Chain A
């Protein structure tokens, strides 16, 4: 099956800092999503981004499908940004394969 690797595994930020999370995948994919899992376990949709660049407030994402990676940018981080960020790719027509996640801790 497809391999999805996220880096870094853990990230500690001071409030107000910027950061970049990376997702590499081993094969062509149909689609890619970024999720934020909050402390209550809820997976929140951030981006549906099979290619190109999208922005939503302080977050933005870029997927370069031909080079098999995606980046999630967090700017001016806030404590509410803490949690686990997952990258998930759709392959085999419909299955979402998840990376292991990046655990982000934002300190006040």
Chain B
């Protein structure tokens, strides 16, 4: 697509429920990132996918968080047993393959605003 697409735009869920957030990257982009922005805060790295390489999950805050990327394109971020502190905007970004001297400009989707009540 023309830009990074995320769905849903907003999600309100009850504490303890599982949620799935979807990201559709820019066509041709092999790198995909998830970030989290809590209220009034900067962006926190969560996870990174690059082609068929093993993802970098070092930013995931707990084992309730997981993500997958099917077919090197669409990615799903899953949060199990949601807690109120999970409330935030979850942002997805994509870029061309990260190699030396390449243009790795990242483009972000509009985000999913998650509210856990």
Contact = CB atoms under 8 A, between A and B. Distances in A.
Contact of A42 (B35, B56, B111): B111
A25 interface: no
Interface residues on A, range: 20 to 34
Contacts of A33: 105-106
Interface string B39-79: 00111010010100000100000000000000000000000
A99 B42 contact: yes
Binding site of A, secondary structure by majority: helix, strand, loop or mixed?
strand
Nearest to A4: B42
Contact of B45 (A31, A96, A100): A96
Interface string A26-52: 000011010100001111010010000
29 contacts: A31-B104, A33-B106, A35-B108, A40-B110, A41-B37, A41-B89, A41-B113, A42-B110, A42-B111, A43-B91, A45-B105, A45-B107, A88-B43, A90-B104, A93-B98, A94-B31, A94-B33, A94-B48, A94-B50, A94-B98, A95-B45, A96-B35, A96-B93, A96-B106, A98-B42, A98-B43, A99-B42, A100-B41, A101-B42
Interface residues of B, number: 24
